[in-house]
Chains A and B, each alone.
Chain A
Amino acid sequence: MSGGVQLENANPVVFQRSVERLLTASEEDEDVYDPIDDREIFDLIRSINDPEHPLTLEELNVVEQVRVKVHDAESTVSVEFTPTIPHCSMATLIGLSIKVKLLRSLPDRFKIDVCITPGTHASEEAVNKQLADKERVAAALENSSLLEVVNQCLSTRNI
């Protein structure tokens, strides 16, 4: 995305990545029903790449496990993400990437809500409304150039 243009936030604060999760005995037991938990959702989104830095959303503290809420029985997932700066023009793209990652990874029964952490972005309301509008999200994902950018954010790198 940056392609030689000036970075919006040239020197972001970099946070430590969390340690790999240890599997418990009951999780390894195929016979025990294992509901999807916050950490599993967090693991799905923490390695999404930032559109302009060679860093993950976790390293930029855009996503945090405490801002992920999953309710397996009700089939709902909500994720709040925190743009690195209040005027970040990439906020919609970041939110869309999180949404697409979860749409692709979770069973169809889940209702996925992605929004900006309250008070952390100048256009919070407008971005949230757009991310919640499934018709506009569907139309955006039929746009091949936008889809390519989203897929780049979602591609895993070896770090």
Chain B
Amino acid sequence: MKEALTLVQRISAHPDSRCWFVAWSPNGTLLASCGGDKAVRIWGLEGDSWVCKTVLLDGHQRTVRKVAWSPCGNFLASASFDATTCIWKKKNDDFESLTVLEGHENEVKCVAWAPSGNLLATCSRDKSVWVWEVDEEDEYECVTVVNSHTQDVKHVAWHPNQELLASASYDNNICIYKEEDDDWECRATLQGHTSTVWSLCFDATGQRMASCSDDRTVKIWKEFPGDLSWKCVCTLSGYHGRTVYDIAWCRLTGALATACGDDAVRVFKEEAAASPDEPVFSLAAQETKAHSQDVNCVSWNPKEAGLLASCSDSGDIAIWRFKEDE
């Protein structure tokens, strides 16, 4: 393998706790992390190193599971096991709590902003997915509660340019939702994984989606003409030693990164010669001991091609550079 992952920096981000998730701001200059210490930390570059700019405390009573930036970069949403989602507004270099979204019966597992910035989705162990509308006054209103999953919903992700939402669940399925007469409905259920689907993400065009699972595989789904007809066109099996907790599809380079319970970070590249209906992905780089414990999340920088952040149960964040050999 000529491609390689080189470590740029390792940060003890959430000491004595888990770091559950990291998210880059839309302009790629800030990284938000969250964890079992109930805190959200904002990291920025100072000179050559990433340093903590702000710590957001007092927002949550329990673990902060995931964070998401609004497309404009001025808001940050945090989903917590305390059953609430906090919306933080960026003010110069600081953040203030704007509002708290309540309603889920128990742990909120994920939050995601639609590309327009007018919609927000949350999902929970209560098996539901909620869609919230944001108005000009920064008021949030729940417009729909969808109960299409039969178990704990782990992840929600929006399509990059359409108002289409996807969710992944402990029930092994993926659901795709679309708005119909002011109501969001599940329009497709994607079956194929044989255990919990932990995460999913769309590619740059939104025509394909990658999902990862406790069944130790990654699946690539493609939309075929017809009413939301998604089919699995590729399964990556045999690469991951334990549960695959997260997946990230780089919108700049097309590289696919995975976070695994075997402590490794892996990067896959698509074979250019293969047919798009039968894509072939090969392992381009892997760091088998990327962290000393489970890797929970991987995230590509949206502006700087090849810059990857990962985080772990050890509380660490690692920043990597994925270099391709031309």
A interface residues with partner B (beta carbon < 8 Å): 108-109, 111, 129, 132-136, 138-139, 142
Contact at A138–B36, with CB atoms within 8 Å?
Answer: yes
The answer to whether the Cβ of B109 comes within 8 Å of any Cβ in the partner chain is yes
Would you call the interface of chain B mostly helix, strand, loop, or mixed? Answer: loop
Q: Determine the distance from Cα of A99 to Cα of B100 in the docked complex, in whole angstroms.
A: 34
Contact at A142–B81, with CB atoms within 8 Å?
Answer: yes
Say how far B289's CB is from chain A's closest CB, in angstroms.
10
Q: Determine the distance from Cα of A56 to Cα of B231 in the docked complex, in whole angstroms.
A: 51
Contact at A135–B109, with CB atoms within 8 Å?
Answer: yes
Contact of A132 among B36, B107, B152, B214 (CB under 8 A): B214
Say how far B122's CB is from chain A's closest CB, in angstroms.
16
Contact at A133–B36, with CB atoms within 8 Å?
Answer: no
Would you call the interface of chain A mostly helix, strand, loop, or mixed? Answer: helix
Known: A129-B196, A142-B81. A135 touches B65 (CB 8 A): yes
The answer to whether the Cβ of B314 comes within 8 Å of any Cβ in the partner chain is yes
- Mark interface residues in B58-80 (1 if CB within 8 Å of A CB, else 0): 00001101000000000000000
Q: Determine the distance from Cα of A81 to Cα of B297 in the docked complex, in whole angstroms.
A: 31
Contact at B170–A133, with CB atoms within 8 Å?
Answer: yes
Q: Residues of A contacting B62 with CB < 8 Å?
A: 139, 142
Contact at A139–B36, with CB atoms within 8 Å?
Answer: no
- Mark interface residues in B104-145 (1 if CB within 8 Å of A CB, else 0): 001101000000000000000100000000000000000000
Known: A109-B292, A132-B214, A133-B170. A138 touches B261 (CB 8 A): no
Say how far B209's CB is from chain A's closest CB, in angstroms.
22
Contact at A139–B63, with CB atoms within 8 Å?
Answer: yes
> 13 additional contacts, CB 8 Å, given A111-B242, A129-B170, A129-B195?
A108-B293, A108-B313, A109-B293, A132-B243, A133-B170, A133-B196, A134-B313, A135-B65, A136-B152, A139-B106, A142-B62, A142-B63, A142-B81
Q: Determine the distance from Cα of A136 to Cα of B63 in the docked complex, in whole angstroms.
A: 12
The answer to whether the Cβ of B266 comes within 8 Å of any Cβ in the partner chain is no
Q: Residues of A contacting B36 with CB < 8 Å?
A: 138
Contact at B261–A111, with CB atoms within 8 Å?
Answer: yes
10 closest Cβ contacts across the A-B interface? A139-B107, A142-B62, A139-B81, A108-B293, A142-B81, A109-B292, A142-B63, A138-B63, A133-B196, A108-B292
B window 273-317: CB within 8 A of A: 292-294, 313-314
Q: Determine the distance from Cα of A133 to Cα of B151 in the docked complex, in whole angstroms.
A: 13
Say how far B198's CB is from chain A's closest CB, in angstroms.
9
The answer to whether the Cβ of B219 comes within 8 Å of any Cβ in the partner chain is no
Known: A108-B293, A142-B63. A136 touches B125 (CB 8 A): yes
What total of chain B residues lie within 8 Å of the partner, measured CB to CB? Answer: 25
Q: Determine the distance from Cα of A129 to Cα of B292 in the docked complex, in whole angstroms.
A: 24
List 14 A–B pairs whose Cβ atoms lie within 8 Å, in order of A's numbering. Answer: A108-B293, A109-B292, A111-B261, A111-B262, A129-B196, A133-B196, A133-B214, A134-B261, A134-B313, A135-B109, A136-B152, A138-B63, A139-B62, A142-B63
Q: Residues of B contacting A142 with CB < 8 Å?
A: 62-63, 81
Say how far B21's CB is from chain A's closest CB, in angstroms.
11
Nearest-neighbor residue (CB-CB) of B36 within chain A: A138
The answer to whether the Cβ of B222 comes within 8 Å of any Cβ in the partner chain is no
The answer to whether the Cβ of B154 comes within 8 Å of any Cβ in the partner chain is yes
- Mark interface residues in B135-174 (1 if CB within 8 Å of A CB, else 0): 0000000000000000010100000000000000010000
Q: Residues of A contacting B294 with CB < 8 Å?
A: 134
- Mark interface residues in B236-263 (1 if CB within 8 Å of A CB, else 0): 0000001100000000000000000110
Say how far A73's CB is from chain B's closest CB, in angstroms.
14
Q: Determine the distance from Cα of A133 to Cα of B106 in the docked complex, in whole angstroms.
A: 16
Q: Residues of A contacting B109 with CB < 8 Å?
A: 135
The answer to whether the Cβ of B18 comes within 8 Å of any Cβ in the partner chain is yes
Q: Determine the distance from Cα of A34 to Cα of B125 in the docked complex, in whole angstroms.
A: 42
- Mark interface residues in B7-31 (1 if CB within 8 Å of A CB, else 0): 0000000000010000000000000
Say how far A69's CB is from chain B's closest CB, in angstroms.
16
Q: Most chain-B CB neighbours within 10 Å: which of A134, A135, A142?
A: A135
Q: Residues of B contacting A136 with CB < 8 Å?
A: 125, 152
Q: Residues of A contacting B18 with CB < 8 Å?
A: 138
Q: Determine the distance from Cα of A139 to Cα of B83 in the docked complex, in whole angstroms.
A: 11
Q: Residues of A contacting B313 with CB < 8 Å?
A: 108, 134
